[in-house]
Amino acid sequence: MSDAVVTAVVEVRGLTRSFEQGGVRIDVLRGVDFDIRPGEFVALLGPSGSGKSTMLQAIGLLEGGFGGSIAIAGQDASQLDGDARTTLRRDHIGFVYQFHHLLPDFTAIENIILPQLVAGKSQIEAEARAEELLTTLGLGERLGHRPSQLSGGEQQRVAVARALANKPALVLADEPTGNLDEATAEKVFGEFVKLVRGQGSAALVATHNERLAYAMDRVVRLHDGRLE
């Protein structure tokens, strides 16, 4: 698929995923078809255990064992080897999780610099981008602080900055504010939305918060392994 005909950041067709548990087959995803357009903000709703995280892991190319096809930025991941999938993920996808997963021995700014260096940016470019993001998120005075020296909301802001550091075409967020109090969650999520939209990325956000969900462009629900 060439870049000239790409009309979606993500194209999922017939996505399936099954697990064996106690000798019983559990079908978590049952033939999901799904697209996300460039710049679109999509909420993924569903009860705990419905497969939201499994679907995000599939689209994020984090695990194998899935049936069907997933194309990211016009590239069919099923046709790529492991190294090429890693490159596709690195270059086009950013992740934000419920728990920040920051590197504890690195400062806030170093946590943002590192993924940029891995992607081939120079130290100067990476530092400038990291400082810009963290300052925009209100952490300009906290650049040299390690995660243990930051509040929960500050840590999640750093995680947002890390996800956006390489300006990915797609941002995947799994309950990104689920570990924060309501007031902090709304503030952090608002900053997240503003930054993602500002750089023209698309986003898929798994959440239980329907108020946040219905502020997005589109809402889809995962039920019994299928999207509604």
CB 104 within 8 A of CB 200: no
- How far apart are alpha carbons 101 and 98 in whole angstroms? 9
Is the pLDDT assigned to residue 99 strictly greater than 50?
yes
List pLDDT tens digits, range 36-71. Answer: 998 899 999 987 777 888 888 888 888 777 888 888
Cα-Cα end-to-end distance for the chain: 28
Tell me the pTM: 0.86
Which residue type is seen at 67?
A: G
Q: What is the DSSP string of 39-104?
A: T-EEEEE--TTSSHHHHHHHHTT-----EEEEEETTEEGGGS-HHHHHHHHHHHEEEEESS----T
Banded pLDDT at 211 (limits 50, 70, 90):
confident
Instruction: pLDDT band for 6, please (50, 70, 90 cuts).
Output: low
Ordered by where they begin, the domains of the chain are 38-65+81-227 (3.40.50.300)
pLDDT for position 4:
44
* pLDDT band per the 50, 70, 90 thresholds, residue 1: very low
The pLDDT value given to residue 89: 87
pLDDT of residue 2: 41
**Among positive and negative, which fits the CA dihedral 184, 36, 169, 199?**
negative
Query: Could you give the CA distance from residue 228 to residue 223 in angstroms, rounded to a whole number?
Result: 7
Tens digit of each residue's pLDDT (9 = 90 or more) over 117-163: 988 899 999 999 999 999 988 888 889 999 999 988 889 889 989 99
Residue 205: per-residue pLDDT: 93
Residue 25 confidence class, pLDDT cut points 50, 70, 90: confident
Of the candidates 146, 141, 108, 145, the residue with the CA atom closest to the CA atom of residue 127: 108
